[in-house]
Amino acid sequence: MIPDVDNDSIVYLNGKHVRLGDATISVLDRGFIFGDGIYDVVPAYNGKPFRMDGHLARLERSLAAIGIKVDFQRSDWEALVFDMLKRSGLGDCMVYLQVTRGVAKRDHAFPANAAPTIFCMVSPFTRPGAQAREQGLSAVGIPDIRWLRCEIKSVSLLGNVLAKQHAVDAGVDEVLQFRDGFLSEGSSCNIWVAKDGKLLAPPRSNLILEGIRYGFVEELASQAGIAFNARPISQQEVDAADELMLSSATKELLPITTYNGKPVGGGKPGPIYAALRAGYDKAIAAL
Ligand code: PDD
């Protein structure tokens, strides 16, 4: 029995459907041995995937970036997501997709003949509630100790795991990571800065995972008539921000109202957050 999960939920593993509690992989799976694999997380509302095309395009980019070839076309991924959503019977949920380089004798170099391991599970998801939306989250700044290919959604997440545990140990909700004095991202989310009525975010690069919400929030800003600029953001600019926000599939878009123990702006969610949040909720409602 795995605690805190629905052991009876059905997962997909290499073409088979099995109980989560019964699903197993080899100890020589390269995902287990080397963290040699990639993943993606597609949110669904009322059983309908949100921005699935973007998620599947990123999944394909991640696979290509680490040279894993899977005999799956885009339509196969879509069919898998829809089928797993249907089987789950869940409304608001997360579809987790993972591909590793497969099972092989332990050797760092790519194996000649390993078949990739393909895994999919669907988990229930509760949308961020009034407390998080209205009071906002707390965060602290830390150095970004991760590798230089953060644009790949790799399952090698030790840097992200340590970053999130830093937040837990510090008694805050999230961390803001800085590389060479410039903002990169949160432990598993993108970060947004508002200053003088304008929205800023670190540029798309190898130093961040470009969230599917990155492009979405950009669209929401444009619809709301908010100027957006993607450029390097210094630690000092974050300290002086009017508003801070984070975005991810699981956190949607949330304000950060306490940073390094101090209130951000007025210590309350600001007007740019409110405008973007309204657009976000409208898009979900229209699904
Ligand atoms: N994480 N940056 C990192 C490092 C992430 O892990 C994530 C998402 C994001 C935001 O991406 P998106 O908007 O596509 O969710 C940015 C997922 C939710 C996870 O690891 O569970």
pLDDT in tens, the chain (287 residues): 999 999 999 999 999 999 999 999 999 999 999 999 999 999 999 999 999 999 999 999 999 999 999 999 999 999 999 999 999 999 999 999 999 999 999 999 999 999 999 999 999 999 999 999 999 999 999 999 999 999 999 999 999 999 999 999 999 999 999 999 999 999 999 999 999 999 999 999 999 999 999 999 999 999 999 999 999 999 999 999 999 999 999 999 999 999 999 999 999 999 999 999 999 999 999 99
How many other C-beta atoms are found inside a 10 Å radius of the C-beta of residue 278?
A: 13
What is the pLDDT, as a whole number, of residue 155?
Answer: 98
Helix axes 212-223, 271-285, angle to 10 degrees: 110
What is the pLDDT, as a whole number, of residue 207?
Answer: 98
What is the pLDDT, as a whole number, of residue 214?
Answer: 98
Residue 13 CB less than 6 A away from ligand 1:
no
Please choose from 96, 144, 190, 250 the residue to mutate so as to test ligand 1's pocket, defined by most ligand atoms within 8 A of CB: 190
Which tokens hold the place of 46? 């009322």
- CATH 3.30.470.10 domain residues, the chain: 10-124
What is the pLDDT, as a whole number, of residue 15?
Answer: 98
What is the pLDDT, as a whole number, of residue 251?
Answer: 98
Ligand 1 atom, smallest distance to 39 CA? 20
Q: Which CATH code of 1.10.260.40, 3.20.10.10, 3.30.70.100, 3.20.20.60 fits the domain covering 130-285? A: 3.20.10.10
Residue 179 CB less than 6 A away from ligand 1:
no
How remote is the CA of residue 53 from the centroid of ligand 1, in Å? 16
Q: Which of 246, 239, 180, 236 is nearest to 213 (CA)?
A: 246
Residue 41 CB less than 6 A away from ligand 1:
yes
What is the pLDDT, as a whole number, of residue 129?
Answer: 96
- Whether residue 192 contacts residue 265, with contact meaning beta carbons closer than 8 Å, is answered with no
How remote is the CA of residue 113 from the centroid of ligand 1, in Å? 31
Please choose from 248, 252, 253, 254 the residue to mutate so as to test ligand 1's pocket, defined by most ligand atoms within 8 A of CB: 248
CA distance 155 to 69: 17
CA distance 1 to 21: 6
CA 154 to chain centre: 11
How remote is the CA of residue 256 from the centroid of ligand 1, in Å? 17
User: Could you tell me where the beta strands, DSSP code E, fall in the chain?
Assistant: 10-13, 16-19, 37-45, 48-49, 93-100, 117-124, 137-143, 174-179, 182-183, 190-195, 198-201, 228-230, 243-248, 252-259, 262-263
CA distance 245 to 193: 7
Q: Which CATH architecture has domain 10-124?
A: 2-Layer Sandwich (3.30)
The SS3 call for residue 103 is strand
What is the pLDDT, as a whole number, of residue 265?
Answer: 94
Ligand 1 atom, smallest distance to 160 CA? 4
Q: Which of 233, 168, 242 is nearest to 198 (CA)?
A: 242
How remote is the CA of residue 3 from the centroid of ligand 1, in Å? 24
Residue 211 CB less than 6 A away from ligand 1:
yes
Ligand 1 atom, smallest distance to 190 CA? 16
What is the pLDDT, as a whole number, of residue 110?
Answer: 98
What is the pLDDT, as a whole number, of residue 220?
Answer: 98
Residue 160 CB less than 6 A away from ligand 1:
yes
What is the pLDDT, as a whole number, of residue 263?
Answer: 98
Q: Which of 231, 219, 218 is nearest to 183 (CA)?
A: 231
* Active-site pick, 48, 105, 153, 198: 153
What is the pLDDT, as a whole number, of residue 277?
Answer: 98
What is the pLDDT, as a whole number, of residue 271?
Answer: 98
**Helix, strand and coil in the chain, % to nearest 5:** 30, 30, 40
* Rg value, the chain, Cα: 19
CA distance 190 to 188: 7
How remote is the CA of residue 51 from the centroid of ligand 1, in Å? 14
Active site residue 153: yes
Written as one letter, the residue type at 238 is: V
What is the pLDDT, as a whole number, of residue 158?
Answer: 98
CA atoms within 13 A on the CB side of 196: 2
Which tokens hold the place of 255? 């304000």
What is the pLDDT, as a whole number, of residue 135?
Answer: 98
What is the pLDDT, as a whole number, of residue 38?
Answer: 98
- CATH 3.20.10.10 domain residues, the chain: 130-285
Residue 277 CB less than 6 A away from ligand 1:
no
What is the pLDDT, as a whole number, of residue 162?
Answer: 98
What is the pLDDT, as a whole number, of residue 274?
Answer: 98
What is the pLDDT, as a whole number, of residue 55?
Answer: 98
What is the pLDDT, as a whole number, of residue 281?
Answer: 98
